[in-house]
């Protein structure tokens, strides 16, 4: 799980171009959206692409992303349970 969390943080930093943020700056339990990382609706859509591309998880309903992208821990947990690659 630790390994997945680190990998996921690196992937998020890369696809969302979080230029000045390092993996250790992202709190595992802090909300990904709202304050903090300053992510917006396009970032949420890009995370949906990341889930499909890197883990083979297809999310048709963007509203579901809201629950999954609650925090890194929630996201990693969801990926571990549902990944197909």
Partner 1 sequence: MARVIRCIAENVVSPLGTTARSNYDNVRAGKSGLARYESMGNITTPFVLSRVDRQVIDSLCAELGILGNYTFFEKFLLCSSAQAVRDAGIDASSDRVLFIVSTTKGNVSLLGQPEEGIADERVLLAKAAAQVTRYYGNPNKPIVVCNACISGVCAQIEAMRALRSGRYDYAVVIGADEQSPFIISGFLSFKAISDEPCRPFDKERKGLNLGECAATVVLEASDKKKRGWELVCGAIRNDANHISGPSRTGEGSYLCLMEVLKECNRQELAFVNVHGTATAYNDEMESIALFRAGLIDVPVTGLKCYYGHTMGAAGIMESILSMYAACDNTVLATRGYREQGTTYPVNVSSGNRECKGSEFIKLLSGFGGSNAALLYRFEE
Partner 2 sequence: MERRGLEYVVLNQGNAQLTELYRSQIGDWPKFFKMDTLSKAGFVATELLLKKLGERRCGSEEFIQSRAIVLFGSTASLCADRNYQETIQNKDDYYPSPALFVYTLPNIVTGEIAIRNHWRGESSFYVLVAPDAAQMAFHLACAFQDSVTESILAGWVDSRNNDDFQVFMTLIRKEDAADTDWLAGQLQLIINDLNK
Compute the least distance from the CB of residue 3 to partner 2, in Å.
23
2 binds, among partner 2, partner 1, none (CB under 5 to 8 A by kind): none
Structure tokens at 59: 């999310």
Among 15, 30, 59, 74, binds partner 2 (CB under 8 A): 15
Is 11 a residue that touches partner 2 (CB under 8 A)? no
Residues binding partner 2 (CB under 8 A): 15-20, 38, 42-43, 45-46, 49, 52-53
């Amino acid at each position: 799980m630790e390994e997945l969390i680190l990998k996921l943080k690196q992937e998020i930093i890369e696809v969302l171009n979080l230029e000045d943020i390092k993996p250790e700056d992202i709190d595992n339990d802090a909300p990904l959206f709202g304050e903090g990382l300053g992510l917006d609706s396009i970032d949420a859509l890009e995370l949906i692409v990341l889930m499909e591309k890197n883990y083979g998880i297809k999310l048709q309903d963007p509203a579901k992303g809201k629950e999954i992208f609650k925090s890194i821990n929630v996201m990693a947990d969801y990926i571990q349970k549902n990944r197909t690659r």
